């Protein structure tokens, strides 16, 4: 019974951290949508990277904690929101949309999705 209670508490904490991750990502996306480049690291500019470094580090740290919890709970699928964020980062072709426009699209998508339990 104690193990089940411990796992239940761990799962509730994981769910809370996933919600915290979502909130932190939304805050970072709002900054980017306002014109502050760097979150998606499209331009590979050191000033842009420095501007977004705190948000990216916080998101990465949260995602690592969540991944550890998922492993303990034997949840096989990775934390999808972080995986999607990582896939969206990095260099892009010259004709790709800019980071502010991409951030607005992410915000619209996240607003349309129901928040996970």
Q: pLDDT per residue over 52-64, tens digit each?
A: 999 999 999 999 9
Q: Give every residue of the chain whose pLDDT is below 70, as ranges.
A: 1, 116-117
Angle between helix 2-33 and helix 99-112 axes, rounded to 10 deg = 140
What is the predicted pLDDT for the residue at 117? 61
- Enclosing domain of residue 47: 2-112
100 touches 34 (CB < 8 A): yes
State the total domains in the chain.
1
Q: Vertex 106, ends 104 and 108: CA angle to 5°?
A: 70
C-alpha span between 41 and 82 (Å, rounded): 15
What is the predicted pLDDT for the residue at 113? 87
Largest CA distance in the chain: 57
91 touches 44 (CB < 8 A): yes
What is the predicted pLDDT for the residue at 86? 96
What is the predicted pLDDT for the residue at 96? 87
C-alpha span between 59 and 8 (Å, rounded): 24
Q: Considering just the CA atoms, what is the radius of gyration of the chain in Å? A: 16
What is the predicted pLDDT for the residue at 3? 80
117 is a domain residue:
no
30 is a domain residue:
yes
Token match 């948000």: residue? Answer: 55
**How many CA atoms, within 13 angstroms, populate the side-chain half-sphere of residue 50?**
3
What is the predicted pLDDT for the residue at 10? 95
């Amino acid at each position: 019974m104690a193990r089940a209670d411990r796992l239940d508490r761990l799962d509730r904490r994981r769910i809370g951290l996933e919600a915290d991750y979502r909130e932190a990502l939304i805050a970072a996306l709002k900054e980017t949508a306002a014109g502050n480049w760097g979150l998606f690291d499209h331009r590979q500019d050191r000033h842009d990277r420095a501007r977004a470094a705190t948000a990216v580090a916080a998101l990465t740290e949260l995602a690592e904690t969540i991944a550890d919890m998922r492993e303990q709970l034997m949840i096989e699928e990775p934390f999808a929101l972080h995986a999607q964020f990582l896939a969206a980062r990095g260099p892009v072709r010259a004709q790709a949309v800019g980071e502010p426009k991409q951030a607005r699209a992410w915000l619209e998508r996240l607003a349309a999705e129901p928040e996970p339990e």
